[in-house]
Amino acid sequence: METDRGEREADRVIVATGGLSVPKTGSDGFGLRVAEALGHEMMPTYPALTPLLADGAPHAELSGISADVRVHAPAGKDGVRSEGGFLFTHRGYSGPSVLDVSHLTTLAREAGRTQEVRVQWTDRDAEEWARVLTEPGAGLVLTSLRDVLPNRLADALMEEAGVPADRARAELRKDERKRLVRVLTEYPLPWTGDEGYKKAEVTGGGVALREVDPVTLESRRQPGLFFCGEVLDAFGPIGGYNFCWAWSTGRSAGRGAASPGR
């Protein structure tokens, strides 16, 4: 093997070079190229856990606002659901709830398909919001929204639903209520792209898992070669799971390479 310190010989090598995410850290896909050059089956790579973009920045005025939301990206029988922090950026959307569904949007865009992303802005579902908005008594619809949402977001959702800011709950028309409930519980996020590998937390794809021994992570094609971490075709949701994968597979590969019986 040729290194920056000259040629080195080894009968056991562990590839722990990461993927393509956050190239400023030095990740350039070297390990992926090594694996492919040695004949391993490779799953197509793509940025995962990456912020989404929206052409025209339709929500730029909400930049900096955050909320705890529920996000649904329908696909197959159900798709991917996530919940947690959501952040409006000056170019689109970020936060754990968005990052956790972004791999579906990335894959869909690369395949020329459209991937829906819908947001429920609070923990109230459509039935609960319908009840709140039809409660008897005085009060503005906007006040009901501002009770549980950041003011600027509440104002924006009212406008998108076509409900006047001065509408009282008692005067809310049925068609207005239906539109508002839908905006509050099934809001279609107008994404058009993503930040790519530049800001992706992890790389999707890589060395197919069937190419390695599940215990030692030794290559089934090249004895003495071990893979671990992001170079393998596996990733999890945001929240430390990918660090855990890197550390645990690194330990397994290290133990496998050090085993005197292999």
Q: What is the pLDDT of residue 10?
A: 87
Residue 228 contacts residue 253 (beta carbons within 8 Å): yes
Q: Which helix (H) or strand (E) segment is 154 a member of? A: helix 151-160
The reported pTM is 0.91
| Nearest Cα residue to 22 out of 230, 203, 198 | 198
Q: What is the pLDDT of residue 262?
A: 59
Q: What is the pLDDT of residue 5?
A: 80
**How far apart, in whole angstroms, are the C-alpha atoms of residue 96 and residue 240?**
12
For CATH 3.50.50.60, list the domain ranges present in the chain.
Answer: 2-44+198-258
CATH class label, 52-121+189-196:
mainly beta
Q: What is the pLDDT of residue 261?
A: 66
DSSP conformational letter for 17: -
> What is the architecture, at CATH level 2, of domain 2-44+198-258?
3-Layer(bba) Sandwich (3.50)
Confidence of residue 218 (pLDDT cuts 50, 70, 90): very high
The CATH number of the structural domain formed by 126-188 is 1.10.8
Dump pLDDT digits (tens) for 65-105: 999 999 999 988 889 999 999 999 999 999 999 999 999 99
Q: What is the pLDDT of residue 3?
A: 72
Confidence of residue 138 (pLDDT cuts 50, 70, 90): confident
Q: What is the pLDDT of residue 199?
A: 96
Mean pLDDT, rounded, for 96-123: 96
Mean pLDDT, rounded, for 186-198: 97
Report the mean per-residue pLDDT for the chain. Answer: 95
From 7-16, 192-201, 233-242, the region with the lowest mean pLDDT: 7-16
Q: What is the pLDDT of residue 2?
A: 67
For CATH 1.10.8, list the domain ranges present in the chain.
Answer: 126-188
Q: What is the pLDDT of residue 1?
A: 63
Q: What is the pLDDT of residue 170?
A: 93
Q: What is the pLDDT of residue 6?
A: 81
For CATH 2.40.30, list the domain ranges present in the chain.
Answer: 52-121+189-196
Q: Which residues contact 255 (CB under 8 A, 6 or more apart)?
A: 216
